[in-house]
Structure 1
């Protein structure tokens, strides 16, 4: 993500999603976070009660955790809304 101009990033993402997918659609999020239970739980909470499939995998040394989330969303705006919510959690990297 462009740290200097997140709004431009989200605008481009929305255009790409509109051009490449039919909505509603499944969307795969990938995040990297330090292997701290509280941070991983915060990510889980954002996708709670949405029927999301969440998979977590620790890095080789266990310092970081990869969190993959597949969830059915109604439109590109819903995808971006979740990115913004997760972006509020300190130290989470969106892939």
Structure 2
């Protein structure tokens, strides 16, 4: 994500999602977090009660965890809303 101008990033993302997907649709989020920080629980809570499928994969040394989340969403605005919620958790890398 463009850290310097997040609104421009979200504008481009909204345009891309509108052009390339039919909604509602499944969307795949990928995040990287430090394993031992409790941030995985915070991310999981954001997607709680949405029917999300969450897969976790630790790095080779176990210091980081890849969090992949597939969830059915109604449109680009809902995709962006979840990115913003996760973005409020410090130290999470969005892929």
CA distances 1:21-78 after superposition (whole Å, capped 9, x unpaired): 0000000000000002511000000000000000000000000000000000000000
CA RMSD of aligned residues (A): 0.6
Unaligned runs of 5+ in 2: none
Runs of 4+ in 1 over 6 A off after TM superposition: none
1 CA distance for matches of 2:94 and 2:46? 14
1:32 is paired with a residue whose SS is strand
1 CA distance for matches of 2:37 and 2:8? 32
What is the aligned partner in structure 2 of residue 28 from structure 1? 28
TM superposition score normalised by structure 1: 0.98
Count of matched residue positions in the alignment of Structure 1 and Structure 2: 95
Unaligned runs of 5+ in 1: none
- Work out whether 1:43 is the aligned partner of 2:43: yes
